[in-house]
Amino acid sequence: MAAYLLRRVALMVLTLFGISVVIFVLLRLVPGNVADIIFDAAGMINPAEKAGLERQLGLDRPIVVQYGAWMGGLLEGDLGHSYVSDRPALEEIAPRLPITAKLAGLALAFSILFGVPLGVVSAVRQNTAIDYVLRVLSLSGLSMPAFWLGLLILMAFVAWTGFIPIYSETPQSLWDEFLVYSVPAAAVGFRSSALVMRLTRSSMLEVLRQDYIRTARAKGASEPAVNYRHALSNAILPVITVIGIEAAFLIGGLIVTETVFNIPGVARFLVEAIRWRDYPIVQNLVMLIAVVVVVVNLIVDLLYAVLDPRIRYGE
Amino acid sequence: MQRRSRLFAAVGAAIALAFAAGPAPSAEPKQGGILRIYHRDSPASASIHEEATYSANIPFMGIFNNLVLYKQDAPQNSLQSIVPELATSWSWSADNLTLTFTLRQGVKWHDGVPFTAKDVKCTFDMLMDKSPQKFRKNPRKTWYDNVTEVTADGDFQATFHLKRPQPALLALLASGYSPIYPCHVSPAEMRTHPIGTGPFKFVEFRQNESIKLARNPDYWRKGRPYLDGIEFTIIPNRSTAILAFIARKFDMTFPTEVSVPLLKDVKAQAPQAVCELKPTNVNVNLIVNRDKPPFDNADLRRAMALTLDRKAFIDTLAEGQGDIGGTMLPQPQGVWGLPPEILRTIPGYGPDVQANRAEARKLMEKLGYGPAKHLAVKISTRNIPVYRDPAVILIDQLKDIYIDGELDVVETGNWFSVVARGDYAVGLNLTGNAVDDPDQAFYENYSCGSERNYTHYCNRDLEKLFDRQSMETDLEKRKKLVWEIDRRLQEDVARPIIYHIRAGTCWWPDVKGFTMMVNSAYNGYRFEDVWLDR
Amino acid sequence: MTPVDYDAELTRAGANASGVWGGLLFLARRQPLGAVGAVIMALVVFAALFADLIARCDPLATSAALSLAPPSAAHWLGADFLGRDVWARIVYGARISLAVGLGSTALGSAIGVAIGLASGYLGGWVDLIVQRVVDILQALPLLVLALVMAASLGPSLRNTVIAIAIPLIPYVARVIRANTLALRELPFVEAAKAVGMSEWRIAVRHILPNTLAPLIVLATAQLGSAILTEASLSFLGLGIPEPHPSWGRMLSESAAEYVRTAPWLVIFPGIAISLAVFGTNLLGDALRDILDPRQRS
The residues pairing with B497 across neighbouring beta strands, listed in sequence order, are B285
Smallest Cβ–Cβ distance between C147 and the set A18, A271, A290 belongs to A271
Which tens digits make up the pLDDT trace of A237-255?
777 766 666 777 788 889 9
Q: Is the per-residue pLDDT at A260 higher than 90?
A: no
Q: How many CA within 13 A on the CB side of residue B264?
A: 12
Q: For residue B260, give Cα distances in angstroms to B256, B315, B455, C257, C261.
A: 10, 11, 30, 12, 11
**A14 assigned to some structural domain:** no
User: Each residue of C262-276: pLDDT tens digit?
Assistant: 888 889 999 999 999
| Counted domains in chain B | 2
Kindly state the average pLDDT of the residues A16-23.
92
Do residues B288 and B398 share a domain? yes
Range of the domain at B393: 279-502
Q: Is residue A148 part of a domain?
A: yes
Indicate the pairing of strand B229-234 with strand B34-39. Answer: parallel
Q: Where are the domains of chain C?
A: 1-30, 36-295
**Cβ–Cβ of C281/A18 closer than 8 Å?**
no
| B393 vs C contacts (CB less than 8 Å) | 62, 82
pLDDT exceeds cutoff 60 at B12: no
Residue A314: per-residue pLDDT: 45
**pLDDT tens by residue, B162-211:** 999 999 999 999 999 999 999 999 999 999 999 999 999 999 998 888 99
Per the domain annotation, does B268 fall within a domain?
no
Nearest-neighbour CA in chain B from C242: distance (Å): 7
Rg (C-alpha) for chain C, rounded Å, is: 22
Quick check: helix, strand or coil at residue C98?
helix
Question: What CATH number should be reported for the domain holding residue B419?
Answer: 3.10.105.10
Domain assignment present for residue B313? The answer is: yes
CA of residue C101 relative to chain centroid, distance: 4
Q: Which among C166, C158, C80 is positioned nearest to B388, based on CA atoms?
A: C80
> Residue B326 corresponds to which amino acid?
G
Domain for residue B271, yes or no?
no
In terms of domains, do B210 and B284 share one?
A: no
pLDDT, position A246: 72
Which among A151, A201, A275 has the least Cβ separation from residue C259?
Answer: A151
Residue A153 lies in a domain: yes
Q: Give me chain B's average pLDDT, please.
A: 91
Q: How many independent structural domains does chain A possess?
A: 1
pLDDT value of residue C27 = 67
Judge whether residue B5 has pLDDT over 60.
no
Domain at B45, CATH number: 3.40.190.10
Same domain as B123, residue B52: yes
Model confidence at B25: pLDDT above 60 = no
Q: Which of B262, B316, B409 sits opposite C241 (nearest CB)?
A: B409
User: Is B225 found in the same domain as B341?
Assistant: no
Q: Which residues pair with B277 in a beta bridge?
A: B504
Q: Report how far residue C79's alpha carbon sits from residue C86's, in angstroms, rounded to the nearest whole number.
A: 5
Q: Is the pLDDT reported for residue B21 higher than 50?
A: no
Decide the pairing of beta strands B147-152 and B403-410. Answer: unpaired
Mean pLDDT of chain A: 84
Q: What is the pLDDT of residues A50-95, one digit of tens each?
A: 888 888 888 888 989 999 999 999 988 899 999 888 889 999 999 9
What would the pLDDT profile of B359-383 be if each residue is shown by its tens digit?
Answer: 999 999 999 999 999 999 999 998 7
CA angle A7, A12, A17 (to 5 degrees): 130
How confident is the model over A111-161, as pLDDT tens digits?
888 988 999 899 888 888 999 899 899 988 889 998 899 888 888 888 888
For A147, the closest chain C residue by CA position comes to C232
Q: Does B55 touch chain A (CB under 8 A)?
A: yes
Residue A189 lies in a domain: yes
Amino acid sitting at position C98: L
CB < 8 Å to B56, chain A: 41
Lowest mean pLDDT across A199-213, B4-18, B53-67, B460-474: B4-18
pLDDT recorded at residue C254:
62
Q: What is the mean predicted confidence (pLDDT) over B253-264? A: 90
Residues C166, C145: contact at Cβ < 8 Å? yes
CB atoms within 10 A of CB A125: 14
pLDDT at C19: 58
Q: What are the CA-CA distances from residue C192 to residues A280, B80, C178, C180, C187 (Å)?
A: 54, 95, 20, 15, 9
- What pLDDT is stored for residue B16 in this prediction? 41
How close is the nearest chain A Cα to the Cα of B192, in Å? Answer: 7
Look at residue A106 and tell me if it is in a domain.
Answer: yes
Give the nearest chain A residue to B41 (CA atoms). A272
- Cβ of A144 within 8 Å of Cβ of C270? The answer is yes
B515: in domain: yes
pLDDT of residue B424: 93
Chain-centroid distance, C-alpha C76: 28
Buried b (16+ CB within 10 A) or exposed e, B77-107: bbbebbbbbbbbbbbbeeebebbbbbbbeeb
Distance CA B328, CA B334 (A): 7
- Chains with ≥3 Cβ pairs under 8 A against C? A, B
B283 and B171 within one domain? no
Asked if A293 and C141 touch (Cβ cutoff 8 Å), the reply is: yes
Q: Are B430 and B473 in contact (CB under 8 A)?
A: no
pLDDT at B501: 96
**Which of C257, C265, C266, C267 to probe the B interface (max B CBs under 10 A)?**
C257
Per-residue pLDDT of chain C (297 residues; tens, 9 = 90+): 334 444 444 444 444 445 566 666 776 777 788 889 999 999 999 999 999 998 888 888 877 778 888 999 989 899 888 888 999 999 999 999 999 999 999 999 999 999 998 888 888 888 888 888 888 888 888 888 888 888 888 778 898 999 999 988 988 898 888 888 888 878 888 888 888 888 778 888 888 888 888 888 888 888 998 999 999 998 888 888 777 788 988 887 666 778 778 888 889 999 999 999 999 999 888 888 777 655 443
With contact defined as beta carbons under 8 Å apart, do C89 and B341 qualify?
no
3-state secondary structure of B503: strand
Do B469 and B384 lie in one domain? The reply is yes
Pick the more confident residue, A263 or C255. Answer: A263
**From B238, B268, B317, residue closest to C257, measured CB to CB:** B238
Query: Is there a domain that residue B272 lies in?
Result: no
How close does chain B come to A82, measured CA to CA in Å?
Answer: 10
Residue B227 lies in a domain: yes
Helices marked H in chain C? 6-13, 19-30, 32-49, 51-54, 86-122, 124-138, 142-153, 157-184, 187-194, 199-201, 208-210, 212-235, 247-250, 253-256, 264-291
| CB contact at 8 A, A245 and A6 | no
B67 shares its domain with B10: yes
> C36-295, superfamily in CATH?
MetI-like (1.10.3720.10)
Tell me the three state secondary structure of residue C8. helix
Tell me, what CATH number does A197's domain have? 1.10.3720.10
Q: pLDDT value at position A185?
A: 92
Q: Do strands B229-234 and B210-215 pair parallel, antiparallel, or not at all (unpaired)?
A: antiparallel
- Residue B262: inside a domain: no
Phi, psi of B516 (to 5 degrees): -90, 125
Instruction: Kindly state the helix (H) or strand (E) to which residue B280 belongs, with its residue range.
Output: strand B274-288
- pLDDT score, position C22: 66
